[in-house]
Amino acid sequence: MSRSAPVRLRGWAGGSDPERFEAYNRWSLLGLLAMGPVAQIVLGLGVPAPPAGIVASVAAWGYVLVSLVQLVAAGFFFARGLDAYLGRGQWRGRYLGVLVAATSVLVLLALGNAWFVPGTSVWMVVLPAGTALASLASVLTIRQLLLGTGAVLLLGAVTLAIAEDVRASGPGLAAAAVVLVTVVCSFRGSVWMTGVVWEQERRREVDARLAVAEERLRFSRDLHDIFGRTLSTVAVRSELAAELARRSDPRGAQTMLEVRQIAQDALKEVRGVVEGYRRVDLATELVGAQDILRAAGVRTSVTSPEAEVPTPAAEALGWVVREAVTNVVRHADATTCQITVTLTDDLVGVQVRNDGVRPAGPSSSTGSGLTGVTERLAALGGTLHSRSDAGEFTVTAQVPRSPRSSR
């Protein structure tokens, strides 16, 4: 499964759980990332009037303007890095120089303010470097992030060395260290969790496809067993008949009749295999439903009566279970599914309930699967109802216990 494109806010309602999880993480981290430059702007505007004159004033306003540039660059590279981490493209740091240059200018301007203006906050140095580091959390290794964090803290220590109000800045550096480590770890952890969610979704779909492939393999193996043996016999008997015909031996005609009989018997066996494959049994479908749903990562519980369900009703309800389970795997982000079979004196019923219903999008359609099952049940005097409520989808079907009840 290829991971989907980045989710926008307008796609939240119709998105799957992995898509919504990524959208939440993506926009939350972008918002958190933007808080750094915004705080820098506030700090730049709040720099006290310096006694050094116009040079320090220009440095403070330059700090504010460059913070705006870093805000845009950090968001751009974070989004690119996240897409690269999720396998949607290769990381290309083509414009990375913009982020590096903006961060370097901000650090230099902050150090200049710390030199000329007493009481300059150590955050003016730590925030730009920390913002740049967090924006690259998706593409940097853990070791690189740790080294980068150490470099940022070293910058804070340099600020303490040149600032006039060293004592007041000491607690600020300690707080900056704690916040920086927490933010960088949070960014890296959130990116990792997004990747894990998509990987689990991919495995879930692969498991469901494997379950279908195994069933197809079983069917092909049965056909191979029949045709392999039969065609080998036909080939040998045909060669014998041809040889007898060349010798004008009257047994050649009898041999060909035997070949025809073998072919007819093989045709009956193939029809039997196909009929058995098409025939649906409720008990078999319940076992198969558990295997497929559990392979897809859905917790499944099945409740059925001890008494045996009559064959006509069992076959009809087996189609209900098969179609309902198919819909759960293909059209829902289910985590749980309950299948309940009920048996009374007059009726046999089955109910399939699952969570994880996807909101109906503009292009969604009902499909013809349940419609076909409804028609099949109606021929036996049965009914089928489906409803969606509070994120759950329920399919309920009932048929008469015996064919006589449907007449």
* Domain segments of the chain as ranges: 9-205, 210-278, 282-406
Bridge partners (DSSP) of residue 301 are 338
> Is residue 96 classed as helix, strand or coil in its secondary structure?
helix
Q: What kind of fold does domain 282-406 have according to CATH?
A: Heat Shock Protein 90 (3.30.565)
Contacts of 79 (CB under 8 A, 6+ apart): 6, 26, 30
Per-position pLDDT tens, the chain of length 407: 445 444 444 455 556 778 888 888 888 888 888 888 888 788 777 665 555 556 666 777 788 888 888 888 888 888 888 888 888 877 777 778 888 888 888 888 877 776 666 656 667 777 888 888 888 888 888 888 878 878 877 777 776 666 655 444 556 566 767 777 778 888 888 888 888 888 888 887 777 777 777 767 776 776 776 666 677 777 777 888 888 888 888 888 888 888 888 888 777 777 766 665 555 678 888 888 887 788 677 899 999 887 888 878 888 888 899 889 888 887 788 889 999 999 988 899 999 999 988 776 444 444 456 787 888 888 888 999 999 888 899 999 999 987 544 44
Instruction: Round to whole Å and give the CA distance between 216 and 160.
Output: 71
Q: Rounded to the nearest 10 degrees, what angle do helices 123-135 and 54-85 cross at? A: 20
Q: pLDDT (tens digit, 9 = 90+) per residue, 132-164?
A: 888 888 888 888 887 887 887 777 777 666 665
Contact assessment for residue 122 and residue 111, using Cβ atoms and an 8 Å cutoff: no
Q: Element (H or E) spanning 394, and its range? A: strand 392-400
pTM of the model: 0.51
Could you please state the CATH topology (level 3) that the domain comprising 210-278 is classified under. 1.20.5
Q: Could you tell me the sign of the dihedral formed by the alpha carbons of 275, 281, 283, 284, in that order?
A: positive
Bridge partners (DSSP) listed for residue 8 = none
Structural element, H or E, at residue 330? helix 311-331
